[in-house]
Structure 1
Amino acid sequence: MYPLSQTLVTIKSISHLNKTISRGIKIAQISNNVTVAKTTIDASHVEKHSQQAQGWWDPNGPMKALHSYNLIRVPFIRDGLVSCSLDKRTTLPLTNKVILDVGCGGGIVSEGIARLGAKVTGIDASKELVEIAKEHCTIDSRLENNRPTYHCTTVEEHAQHFTDYYDAVVASEVIEHVADKELFIQSCVKALKPGGRIFITTPNRSRLSELVTICLSEHIFNIVPRGTHEYDKFTTPNEVSFLLDRNNCHVQLIHGIMYYPIINKWAWTSSTQLIFALQAVKLAE
């Protein structure tokens, strides 16, 4: 038989062990119950774009393709929001339209649609690019009385405060850089008024797009900084349409876009294999 003192020590040790195990189980249970917050942000892509901030507004620099892109994507947004005959068109057709530019970068699209009279809010996860956008919009005299407003934030955070607020949401060359496409679409639609339009442009996940957007544009002609795109993050018209449909939107049209790197020109095409532009309307509940 064990001495009484040794027996008491053994009992205390067992009791301490049981408490330790119990505490460990509770910690494990707490850890298992923690829900990691979803986000649209892919930090590596934000960093890549932030590194290009200083050359963002150089029309012959690394973002020159985005500058020439405005020649077709700004009219695409305009025509999706305003329908009128040629004789009734004005220089400010988007007056009184409140538009959100998601992933605005340095403000190339934001300024383009603001010059047509729209009240534009641009949001981006990159502090560097938001600062560049804020600085540049003070330069153009055409924006003196209608400068875009810029915020460094995520679309999911912004939509929490501006639900059913915007006449239009623009997401041009953005969805291929986000971490959670479903949350991205859901948040864009949440910020949109019923009856409002959402405009999306993005590379298709096709071998042609991989060839032109990545191989040629990034590695051969050096038009886009290397590493800007990842093929696996590209999406398709069907996938985007499906996400919009799940979020109470009706896709009204899908256009194909062709880019010619050598001459830095964009053109509409019937094929969506390279890049596509999509317009959808948010339906009433």
Structure 2
Amino acid sequence: MTAPITDTSAQTSSPSVDPAEIARFSKLSSDWWDPNGRMKPLHRINPLRLAYIRDAACRKFGRNPKSLTCLSGLRVLDIGCGAGLLCEPLARLGAEVVGIDPSETNIAVAKLHAERGHLSIDYRATTVEAIDMRERFDIVLAMEVVEHVNDVGAFLARCASAMKPSGLMTVSTLNRTWKSFALAIVGAEYVLRWLPRGTHSWDKFVTPEELSNYLEASKLGVTEQTGVVYNPLADRWSLSSDMDVNYMLVAEAL
């Protein structure tokens, strides 16, 4: 039995970090790797977003997505990595992964799970603003993070500066529509109880147009984008032209 992990979340003056959001996800840290627990929706959508990242990277860097080591030699920064749900499969595909999260509790859980799986992943309890400005990555990920930061523009600017000139960024977030309010907040948090109440704030959701403008201000252009929808009858997530609720995009240097 391991000792209980006490949260001592990384202190930072980062303009993008919301301390309340850090505390909220720290409380969920023990549930991260339970596929039937409170993180079940994230586990269900994880294969889809992993495939999207893998395929975009393979197109960009001329790799074969069917290869089990298709990301070999590529440096990946996963921002807001939680307990490593994306970091681990990316590492298994050969990537050199750095996972950062401002919650020390989440990082402790991530490190322990990676050790048990004999995976080498560089986990750090920090923010993107605090990492060494000289570090550069082939792939920068901000998955389900944008809707939890205080200053989206400042956050994405720092993400962009962490990219190599030839790199790419993948972002997934929630659109600010009445449909997203009905499905992502009322439906997911209050009716289906997929997520704890208060997980999301609708006013922090970002439209694709706003996100594109923020990226352009950081000299990045959107090269592809897609909606992500849930089919309750099939109990699965899939890519879609419908971007009214969840969506993902890829951005590269202009």
TM-score (norm 1): 0.80
Show CA shifts across 1:21-65 (max 9, x none). Answer: xxxxxxxxxxxxxxxx65111011111100001111100000011
Pick one of 192, 197, 215 that aligns with 1:244: 215
Pick one of 197, 209, 212 that aligns with 2:168: 197
User: 1:1-285 to 2 correspondence within 5 Å?
Assistant: 39-83=15-59, 89-140=66-117, 144=118, 146-158=119-131, 160-162=133-135, 165-260=136-231, 264-283=235-254
Q: Is the 8 A contact 1:159 1:187 kept in 2?
A: no
> Which stretches in structure 2 are left out of the alignment for 5+ residues?
1-12
CA distance in 1, matches of 2:162, 2:222: 17
CA distance in 1, matches of 2:219, 2:212: 11
CA distance in 1, matches of 2:79, 2:19: 16
CA distance in 1, matches of 2:230, 2:215: 26
> Which stretches in structure 1 are left out of the alignment for 5+ residues?
1-36
Moved more, 58-67 or 110-119: 110-119
Q: In 2 relative to 1, CA 253–240 (structure 1 residues): closer, same or farther, beyond 3 Å?
A: same
Give the CA deviation at 1:160: 2.5
CA distance in 1, matches of 2:94, 2:14: 35
Higher radius of gyration, 1 or 2: 1
Q: Percent identity?
A: 36
Q: Give the partner amino acid of 1:147.
A: S
Give the CA deviation at 1:211: 1.1
Provide the secondary structure at the position in 1 that maps to 2:83: coil
Q: Give the partner amino acid of 1:81.
A: A
CA distance in 2, matches of 1:240, 1:231: 15
Q: Is the 8 A contact 1:47 1:126 kept in 2?
A: yes
Give the CA deviation at 1:282: 2.0
Q: Give the partner amino acid of 1:182.
A: G
Q: Give the partner amino acid of 2:44.
A: S
TM-score (norm 2): 0.90
Give the CA deviation at 1:261: 5.7
CA distance in 2, matches of 1:240, 1:176: 11
Q: In 2 relative to 1, CA 175–261 (structure 1 residues): closer, same or farther, beyond 3 Å?
A: farther
Q: CA RMSD in A?
A: 1.7
